[in-house]
Amino acid sequence: MKLKSWVPVKSLIVISLLLILIIPIGIVIYYFQPIVVKGVVDHKTLVGVKNGNAKTLLMITPYGIIINDESVKSYVSGGDILYEELIRNISRYYDEVYCTISIRVSTNDPLNNLGPGETLAYIADAKYFSLLDIGSKVEFVITRLDPLKISRVISVEK
C-alpha cells in the first residue's frame, strides 16, 4: 500500500516540532512568572549552617538586636551593621550563611498560601537584607521556582 500524499505526515512532523518547542517555553514562563507581594518587614535574621546544623547568628527585631554568635559582635557598632561585610567574613566559619526577612503580608501570597496579616520568613540576598529596615513597607517579587526567596524588590517605603 502506497501513501498518496505526504502532506498529513509533514503536518504531523511540523506540529510535533512546534509542541516540542512550545511546551518547554510554557513551563519556563509558568515557573518564572513573577508574583508580586506587599507587606511590612517584621524582623530579620542571619542564619549560619555548619555540619547540617542551623544556628541563628543575629536577629534584628523592633525591640532590639539579639546576637547569638561572638564573632558577630565586632560588626555591630552603635546599631550600625555592615551586613555584606559581616556575611562575607562569617561565611569563612560556616558551610552556608543565609538571610531571612520576616514580612507580614498585606496582600495575598498565593504561592505560600498566606493571607493579609500573616507573616513568613523569606530568604533574601545580602543586598535586600541591608536595604530593608524593620517597619519598612515593601513590594517584592517571588516566583514558583523558589517561592520562599525574594527574587526582586520593587519598592521600599521607610
Cβ distance 99 to 123 under 8 Å?
A: yes
Proportion of the chain in helix, strand, coil states, percent, rounded to 5: 30, 40, 30
What's this model's pTM, rounded to 2 decimal places?
A: 0.80
Encode pLDDT of 26-79 as tens digits. 776 677 789 999 999 999 999 999 999 999 999 999 998 898 988 788 777 666
Tally of CB atoms within 10 A around 44 = 25
As a whole-number percent, the residues of the chain with pLDDT over 70 amount to 90
Mean pLDDT of 107-128: 96
Phi first, then psi: give them for residue 47, nearest 5 degrees: -120, 135
Q: How far apart are CA 72 and CA 92, in angstroms?
A: 12
Whole-Å CA distances, 23 to 32, 57, 68, 77, 85: 14, 44, 48, 53, 43
Mean pLDDT of 140-154: 95
